[in-house]
Structure 1
Amino acid sequence: MRLLTHNILSCNIKGVANDFPLRREAEKRVEKEVELNADFLRHIFPKIE
């Protein structure tokens, strides 16, 4: 889920020409299984489309 929200982040600094998508470099990667959160998905899907 964090990957979904990371993909819609943008820079909020005034005057930045290319503020989307926010570029980040991962130092490490951790995978964890989590329970499905249907409310979160209903909220985030319209922003992705």
Structure 2
Amino acid sequence: MRLAPLDGGEDAETKPLWQRLGWMVAIWLVSVTALGAVAYLLRLWLA
């Protein structure tokens, strides 16, 4: 018996490596930008 959440694993293997890495880099850049914006706002607020 297979569980439904595990069935999506085959879809990830069919995507090219460059596309998976591209999404990973994009998510990393967005998170770093968001952290930078929060740090900048805190710096302005504390100064």
Q: The TM-score by the shorter chain falls in which range?
A: under 0.3
TM-score, normalised relative to structure 1: 0.26
Q: Which has the larger radius of gyration?
A: 2
RCO comparison, higher one (Cα < 8 Å, 6+): 1
Q: With structure 2 as the length reference, what TM-score do the two structures score?
A: 0.26
Greater fraction of residues in helix: 2
